[in-house]
Amino acid sequence: MAARYWNEAVETMGRPDIEALQLSLLRQAVGRALTTPFYGPRLEAAGISGPSDIRSLADLRRIPFTTKDDLRQAFPFGMLAAERREVVRMHASSGTTGVPTVIYLTAADVERWTDYVARSLVATGADSSDVLQNMMTYGLFTGGLGLHYGAERVGMMVIPAGPGNTARQLKLMKDFGTTTVHATPSFMLHLHSKMAEEGYGLGDLRLKRAFCGAEPYSEDARRKIEALFGIEVFNSYGLSEMNGPGVAFECERRDGMHLWEDGYILEIVDRDSFEPVPDGERGEIVLTILCREAMPLLRYRTKDLSAVCPEPCPCGRTHRRIARITGRTDDMLIINGINVFPSQIEEVIMAMPEVGNNYLILVQKEGALDRLTVKVEVGPSSFADDSRPLNALRDRIRSRLQASISLNPRVELHEPGVLPVSEGKAKRVVDERPKL
Ligand code: DLL
């Protein structure tokens, strides 16, 4: 197979060159981080007061980890390393509470991100002859704009469809000869389940490939989507803290995701001891973004579990591959691609005096999509003969939850004592979706 590159020199760099580049970029990143209210005192406390204190890549381990909670503490500008007037874009993702995780980018940062995405897409075999339908959300979520810019850079014709609305998606696919889609894997399965009903057959489509990510899925799910549509599915990993999509992407081999090591330093650490694990062993992904001017993030604990694929990739790219993500070390739920922390739901519910102390979060599959139900106990007086106040309360809970988590849950109200009370630590989340 003739490997095609976007930037061959960078993508096939030898390991010593990658490491030398990482060291020099890490020094710059540390220099920038030191100027921020969050990292300044933290790095000083770790004995790092200037870039020259980083003498080798091994010194990375002197830097303390950064967590999502740190991002929350630093909200809104505690990690900003650029002048406000240099910032051209922000994105945000859910935090563990109502405080979101915010990321800032300068024009040069957007440019670099665009480059990581462009090279990822070319690695899948995509080129300017392709029509890309982007079914990810445009907005604060990074899946829409992030991939869009990279695809345009490659010269693909981009249809900025956004998510949902299967009938319109299928019509766009047919009318414009979409060859490539970007979607969550669950939406791909949902789309297929609606095709016949909407009057479309595979013969109406010119689809060749899909970029799927933003939520966990199994190898079986990949094969299923490939078989149903007769296409190739490429796994794509990213997180808003590290820009978004374009952190790691599968090449034409579809066997692990190349993580762009000129942009990120990858560590995989034991989930309990935080010591590095050998290649091939699973642990938590820890990432350092090397070049983001507006907002450095050093040794960010992603909470995602993966492993380094130890073998070099036959495609010729030297940037190491990570294996499919098999889970998280925290309780973050990903529901139809949207990140939700149970604590966000609790915060909304507990702020409503009509609501009792017991609640349950239920996540199920409904067809190909995820379904969130929040069961809430309310005071006995709410269950009077007149059901109108109850309905109003249900609507109020639903709309407050929707405002907080950007999902429209089903809300069930129950009389006190109906929901199970667990002994010891309350089990608030029941996730009935099939495991990976
Ligand atoms: O989901 C960015 C993205 C957009 C990635 C489009 C890929 C495609 P966040 O909303 O910040 O950003 O969520 C990041 O989603 O920490 C993982 O837990 C999960 N995740 C992302 N990609 C994958 C994947 C975007 N391919 C969080 N497999 C991450 C499994 C994934 N989980």
Q: What is the pLDDT of residues 328-376, one digit of tens each?
A: 999 999 999 999 999 999 999 989 988 887 899 999 999 999 999 999 9
- Confidence band of 135 (pLDDT split at 50, 70, 90): very high
Alpha carbon distances (Å) from 179 to 130, 173, 183, 192, 225: 6, 8, 13, 15, 15
Residue of 339, 341, 433 to mutate, ligand 1, most atoms within 8 A of C-beta: 339
In tens, the pLDDT along 263-303 reads: 999 999 999 999 999 999 999 999 999 999 999 999 999 99
In angstroms, how far is the first alpha carbon of the chain from the final one? 31
pLDDT attached to residue 168: 98
Alpha carbon distances (Å) from 263 to 22, 113, 258, 321: 8, 9, 12, 14
Orientation of helix 142-154 relative to helix 107-123, angle to 10° = 70
Residue nearest to atom 18 of ligand 1 (CA): 304
pLDDT attached to residue 1: 46
Global pTM? 0.94
Per the CB < 8 A criterion, the answer to whether 349 and 412 are in contact is no
Statement: residue 140 has pLDDT above 70:
yes
**H-type alpha helices, 250-370:** 342-350
Ligand 1 center–CA 379 separation, angstroms: 39
Q: Tell me what the mean pLDDT of segment 141-151 comes to.
A: 97
CA nearest 163: which of 191, 188, 135? 135
- Confidence band of 380 (pLDDT split at 50, 70, 90): confident
Query: How large a percentage of the chain has pLDDT more than 70?
Result: 97
pLDDT attached to residue 424: 65
Residue with tokens 């935090």: 95
- Confidence band of 383 (pLDDT split at 50, 70, 90): low
Q: Tell me what the mean pLDDT of segment 84-100 comes to.
A: 90
Per the CB < 8 A criterion, the answer to whether 152 and 128 are in contact is no
Q: Strand 355-366's sheet: what is its strand order?
A: 410-414, 369-378, 355-366, 429-431
pLDDT attached to residue 425: 63
| C-beta neighbour count of 121 within 10 angstroms | 28
Asked whether 216 lines ligand 1 (CB < 6 A), one says yes
Asked whether 333 lines ligand 1 (CB < 6 A), one says no
Question: Which atom belonging to ligand 1 lies closest to the Cα atom of 101?
Answer: 11
pLDDT attached to residue 423: 63
Q: Tell me what the mean pLDDT of segment 2-18 comes to.
A: 92
